[in-house]
Amino acid sequence: NDYQRYPYALSKPRIVDQLSSDPATPSTSPLQNHSIYATVGYNFTAEEIIAFAREREERGEPFALWAGHGNDPFYMRLSTIEGILKAAPTTCRALVFPEMERTDEAMEYAVRTHILPIAELCRKHGTAKIVLRNKNIFWNGSCYLDLWREILLEGDYRDVFIPSMEETNDRTQALSLSGRMGLWLCGHFDRISGRAVTDNANFSRFWEWGAQQNLSHLMRSMVLRSSLGADMLLVNIYQGDPRSLAPLYQMLDKGVIAVPEREDLLSVADLCLGMKNPSPNFLEHGKNGHHIDGYRAESTKMVFDRMDCYWGGAPIDPSDFSNYAMGSRSRMLNFLPTNPYGLIAMVSANTELAASPFFRSMLVTDGEVFYDEQGQAVSAADYKPRALAALEASAAKLPVRVYGEVAWTVVRLDPSHVRVTLIDSGYLSPADREATIVLQHLDGTGCRDILSGETLPLAANAVSLTVPAGVLRVVDIAQR
């Protein structure tokens, strides 16, 4: 398939045997190096798995491989994984471990005796990375617990581990994006990634919306993550025509979607959200994807609330930080947050702001309540006015700010140009969206839609435009 030729998509076939093609037949695609995301069944021998990797190396086909799962981290022996890395030192790009969010004794044993040795093998053989494709609030909560804090935040594996997400049956996408971005911006990881899978459209197992035939929602989600810095995308398509994602790969290949370095990303607020030791209530409700017996019609409103599976699709309380700071109005499909104050990154509350090139102030929380300057707990509702004042003060310092129901990023291209990407924020509810780009601290001299070639009028340091339903606009602004 031509779509598999694009290097940005690590595509997962259902049956490994169907991956083979005639190596004598040259590719006619403009991009020769396609990537494959493969799972190997339990009925394959180590020799067969290594032979698969060797074949990919001989053909120059980059691939990622499912290497384990939170319920089965020991999917393959270390000797088999080492054989894969030796057989495919240039084409094995990633070893994927989904749902590694547990912190119990069994997981600690798996991490210390299996995952960390794999990390050392990745350093020793080739360029493969370990992609941690976790669920729910792992990058907001579980990563701050003892085991994962030691390994991911205090360890020395930022060059090997890549944070990613499995956001199926999930309701907290805006939170997890904030968490991953904060950890990347703080230097805990060298790279970040994005993922698109058919099952992403399912925000609750009570409502299965996954059979989407038009993949606009996945394309837009990957555009946002790429324009925030993700340089690896895991794409798993089981419904619809995967070739409909070709525009995404072409825009990446042509540089239309600018994948920024940390220092070139201009749409992140200098106000961050600092996570203390996460509250047990925050962890319990944030990780609850299946149990409905804990439902209560009324409960104490937390900083991040209504995250359980039984709240899928429910309105988010106005005092919830993800409502007013991230633009999430209901607990469903918040893959494209509008971030009205810029992206608010979540970091460790112990982050030294004086040493950070990105953050100047911090709101402190444990996910359940806020903490004031004296360390006293303050409820989400009582703290909201102070949080709003801090958000507005930070947003006023952004060089460019976008108003409207769009997801957006601003990236520095060179000393005289920035690129603004505007995306229809309706994940499964596409519509025309009105947006206004305001130059707050840029002296703009021109504005152009680089997809249409249209010159846009820049008046009073602002330009208003419509983002068509289901797609995006990419605008370059020239400045003095």
Helix (H, G, I), strand (E, B) or coil at 112: helix
294-314 tens-digit pLDDT: 888 877 799 999 999 999 999
Highest mean pLDDT among 32-36, 167-171, 183-187: 183-187
Each domain of the chain, given as residue ranges in start order, spans 2-259, 271-395, 400-479
Is domain 2-259 classified as CATH 3.20.20.80? yes
Is domain 400-479 classified as CATH 2.60.40.1180? yes
Other Cβ atoms within 10 Å of 24 Cβ, number: 5
Task: Pick the closest to residue 144 from 309, 274, 334, 289 (CA basis).
Answer: 274
Grade residue 37 by pLDDT with cuts at 50, 70 and 90. low
229-253 tens-digit pLDDT: 999 999 988 788 888 899 999 999 9
- Encoding tokens for residue 314? 């429910």
Other Cβ atoms within 10 Å of 425 Cβ, number: 25
Grade residue 211 by pLDDT with cuts at 50, 70 and 90. confident
* pTM to 2 decimal places: 0.92
Q: Is the model's pLDDT at 122 over the cut of 50?
A: yes
Q: Is the model's pLDDT at 11 over the cut of 70?
A: no
DSSP string covering 318-378 = TTSHHHHTT---BSS--SS---BTBB--EEETT--GGG-SS-SEEEEE-SSSEE-TTS-EE
DSSP string covering 242-275 = GGGGHHHHHHHHHTSS----GGGB-SB-SEEEEE
DSSP structural state of residue 94: E
Q: How far apart are CA 258 and CA 260, in angstroms?
A: 6
Q: Is the model's pLDDT at 2 over the cut of 70?
A: no
